[in-house]
Each structure stands twice: as structure tokens, then as C-alpha cells.
Amino acid sequence: METRPAECGILVLVHARDEAPDPVIARVVARLEAKGLKPRGLMQHGEPAGCGNSCATLYLDDIGMGRRVRIFEDRGPEAQGCRLDTAGLAVAAGWLREAVEARPDLLIVNRFGKHEGEGRGLREEIGMAVAAGIPIVIAVKRQYLEDWLAFAGEAFATAPLDAAAIEGWCYRALAAVDA
């Protein structure tokens, strides 16, 4: 896949199933905030499965607002597999909509995944941010890249899970918005 310029306004962090973009995104957000910028959006974090649990405990943080919501159901120690908590995702979608309406410098979307590929999840909010011209950084697991392409077309840039590369794209995208 060809990398496109920052003027595209969307940076996709394509990653493998076993790669976690979240620590890298957290570093980028911290660096941008330290420079006086105001990124908003959602950042995922959690704890891996263990101690009898077959599912990780995942949360979404509302960047810059100090709010957190659990996004996987607590199905108990005997449950097999994980299930997305759609109520938690709906709360996060509302936060993302608020972030878009606040016109931040940059919008972080934790993932474009299975639900978004199926026409649900955070699709509407992602579309709102694109329509508003807000630069977006979004993580897309390689297995969902075809779904992303069907949704977004090919007008996006890509970067490795490297904080310096992502931060550099963010500054170029912000300069393009200001131009």
C-alpha cells in the first residue's frame, strides 16, 4: 500500500493482530499535549486475559476529558471468548461525537474493526470527523484493512507503529489544515 501525503487528513496505523498500537498512540498524544495541542478522541487500554478469565479487560479513555468506559462484557470466568459491550461502545461513540463537535486539533480513533466493517461501531463519528476536515489517526488491524478500504477508499496515509513517524505526520497534517 502506497503512503500518501499528510494532506489526505487520515493516518492509518495498519498493524498485525499481535501488535498493540495503544502504547505508541499514548506517547504521541502525550507529546502533542506537551506542545500545547489539543488532541481528542478515544484511546484503548486494558489488561490481558488471565487468572481464569478468557477475555481481556478493555477500556476506552476519552482523551483530554478524564472519562473511561469498559468495552468488553464481563462474562465471568467460565465464559469462552470475548464479547464487545455495545452499551460501552455507544457511550464511547457519544464521546467521539462530542470531540468532533469541539473541533480538536486532531482526532484519535482507537480502532476501525469488525463492527465498523459491518456498518456499525464508530463509522458515523469517523465520517463526521472527515466531513469536518479534522485530521484523524486511526488504528486498523491488518485483517480489517479490506473493510477499511471499502469504507474510506484510498485517500489516506499510512505509518508504522512509530511515535516519531506518527507525530511528524500529525504536524504536517495540521500545517495542511492551516494552509
CATH number of the domain residue 61 falls in: 3.40.50.300
CB atoms within 10 A of CB 118: 10
Q: At what angle do helices 145-152 and 123-132 cross, to 10 degrees?
A: 50
Write out the three cell numbers for 85: 459491550
Q: What is the rounded average pLDDT for all residues in the chain?
A: 87
Q: What percent of the chain has pLDDT over 70?
A: 84
At residue 170, the pLDDT reads 95
Closest CA to 151 of 10, 44, 36: 10
In a domain, 145, yes or no: yes
Confidence at 50, pLDDT banded by 50, 70, 90? low
In a domain, 80, yes or no: yes
* Number of domains composing the chain: 1
Largest CA distance in the chain: 56
In a domain, 137, yes or no: yes
Q: What angle do CA 115, 118, 121 make, to 5 degrees?
A: 35
Q: 52 is in which domain, residue-wise?
A: 6-178
In a domain, 1, yes or no: no
In a domain, 162, yes or no: yes
In a domain, 87, yes or no: yes
In sequence order, the 6+-apart residues with CB closer than 8 A to the CB of 94 are: none
Contact 110, 139 (CB under 8 A): yes
In a domain, 57, yes or no: yes
Residue 2 has pLDDT above 60, yes or no: no
At residue 94, the pLDDT reads 97
At residue 76, the pLDDT reads 60
* Bridge partners (DSSP) listed for residue 44: 60
Residue 73 has pLDDT above 50, yes or no: yes
At residue 5, the pLDDT reads 47
At residue 3, the pLDDT reads 44
Residue 174 has pLDDT above 80, yes or no: yes
Q: Is the dihedral of CA 148, 149, 152, 157 positive or negative?
A: positive
In a domain, 61, yes or no: yes
* Bridge partners (DSSP) listed for residue 57: 47
Distances (CA, A) of 6 to 3, 11, 175: 9, 8, 9
Q: For residues 58-80, give the mean pLDDT.
A: 81
